[in-house]
Structure formats: structure tokens, C-alpha cells
Amino acid sequence: MGKFEGQVVLVTGASSGMGKATALGFAREGATVALVARRADVLQEVAAEVESLGGTALPLPTDLADGVQARAAVEKTVAAFGRLDVVVNVAGTNLKKRAIAVLDPADWDEMLATNLSAAFHTTQAALVPMRTQQSGLIIYVSTGAVQHPDTSGVAYQASKHGISGLAHGTREEEKGNGIRTCIIFPGLTKTPLLNKRPTPTPPEVVAKALLPEDVAAACLFVAGLPPRVRVPEMQILPAGL
């Protein structure tokens, strides 16, 4: 039996990159996984991979920036499997015109909606079944740019700083209900998000980057700890950069 046999895990951004790797990682360890992202066709492919591992997956095409859709995704998960043990918030994006000198206000709003409001809606919805269970873990995959500001863009960095307030504030308010939170801050990771950089990342730098599976392993580590343990934050950085 896997480490997470009998547990239900909902992963956002599950169609690619760190989200997909995290969903597959939990599935390999016996968890039932709810797959949440916008692209229905790709989610079906990920669900098929989970099933090829002998696992169970529920693909839920969802725009998490819409609170109604986010709540529906959580409710469908609980209706299908009876509980919700872990949520991993991975969904996020960036854009090429990211410097404040050229950032369009509409793009600012979209970045906050996708990177921050989506996590808020998912968190608020997930707290309902977790309070009933008196247990639950919510993991937020953020960015190393929170500790080390860079040129990833003011909207991206502002949204990820907001994730820290969401995660820590939620934990303080909900710790009496047995609910824990953790923020994981990855450094450079080889994911499709690199394609949205204004200039391509040199291949020799990408070669030293983390892989999505490394971030997934960090999520599984935190989720595998006993309920008496909380890990408020964890940095995971490429060793060679």
C-alpha cells in the first residue's frame, strides 16, 4: 500500500509542469486525485496516466479565478470520494510584458486573478469539508522570487507575496480545526512557464534547473508528515545556480 492510500488529494494546475508531476506523485503513493485545470482535453490525458498507474483520478476542468467554479470543483471531489485531505495549489501563470514600465493594468488584474484569487477561492471552498473532518493540509507552490526579488515581473511577484499572506493567515485562523498550511518556494524549474519569459533562458542554465518532479517530491514530503507537524515554509532551490 502507498503512503497516501485512502487519502483524497486535489491538485490545481494539474495539466502540466509541477501540478501534473505532483498529481502523478500522489497517485503513485496510493492517493485518489482530483485534477483541476482549465484544459479539459489535457486533464483527460493526465487522468489516463493516473489510471495507468493503477490509481483513480477525477478530471475537473475549472477556471479557478471564478469562485463559483472553484467551489464546484471541491464539492464534486467530496461528492465523489467522501472527503478531502490535501489541496496543492499549483495553478499560476506569467506573461512576457511583465516589467512595470510596460505592464498593462488588465494584465495586472489577470495575474492577480490567476495566481492569487484562484488560490483564495480554492482555499475557501476546501475549508468547508476540512472543518467537518477536523483535519486537512493546504500546500501553496509559490516562487523563490519572494525571498530573492528578480525580474520575473511585479504582478507575478506581488501575487506570490499575496500567497504568503493567504497561507499564513488561513493557518492561524483554522489551526483549531486541525488544518495546516505550507508554502513551497521553488527556484528556477524547468516547466512550460519558462516559455513566457521575455528572452529565452540559456540552455546551460535550464540544464541546472529543478525538475517538476523535485517540487512534487517536496509536496509529498510535507503531506507525509504526521498531523502534529507543520511546515510553514520550505525553500527548494537548484544546487548549481
- State the CATH number of the domain containing residue 153: 3.40.50.720
**pLDDT confidence tier of residue 93, bands split at 50, 70 and 90:** very high
Q: Is residue 161 part of a domain?
A: yes
Beta strands in 5-135 (DSSP E): 8-12, 32-37, 57-61, 86-89
Instruction: Classify 206 as helix, strand or coil.
Output: helix
Using alpha carbons only, what angle is made at residue 231 by residues 226 and 235, rounded to the nearest 5 degrees? 135
pLDDT of residue 67: 97
Mean pLDDT score, 11-31:
98
**pLDDT confidence tier of residue 185, bands split at 50, 70 and 90:** very high
Tell me the residue range of the domain where 153 lies.
8-236
Cell for 240?
Answer: 548549481
Give residue 176's identity as a one-letter amino acid code.
G
- What is the domain count for the chain? 1
CA 183 to CA 181: how far, in whole Å?
Answer: 7
| Whether the predicted model's global pTM rises above the 0.95 cut | yes
Using alpha carbons only, what angle is made at residue 68 by residues 63 and 72, rounded to the nearest 5 degrees? 85
**14 phi, psi to nearest 5 deg:** -80, 0
Q: Is residue 155 part of a domain?
A: yes
Q: Is residue 207 part of a domain?
A: yes
Q: What is the mean pLDDT of the chain?
A: 97
Q: Is residue 51 part of a domain?
A: yes
Catalytic residue among 116, 156, 159, 167: 156
Q: Is residue 213 part of a domain?
A: yes
140 is catalytic: no
**Judging by beta carbons within 10 Å of its beta carbon (0-12, 13-18, 19+), is residue 194 exposed, middle or buried?**
middle
Q: Is residue 3 part of a domain?
A: no
Q: Is residue 241 part of a domain?
A: no
Mean pLDDT score, 187-196:
93
pLDDT at 10 over 90: yes
Share of the chain above pLDDT 70, in %: 100
**pLDDT confidence tier of residue 52, bands split at 50, 70 and 90:** very high
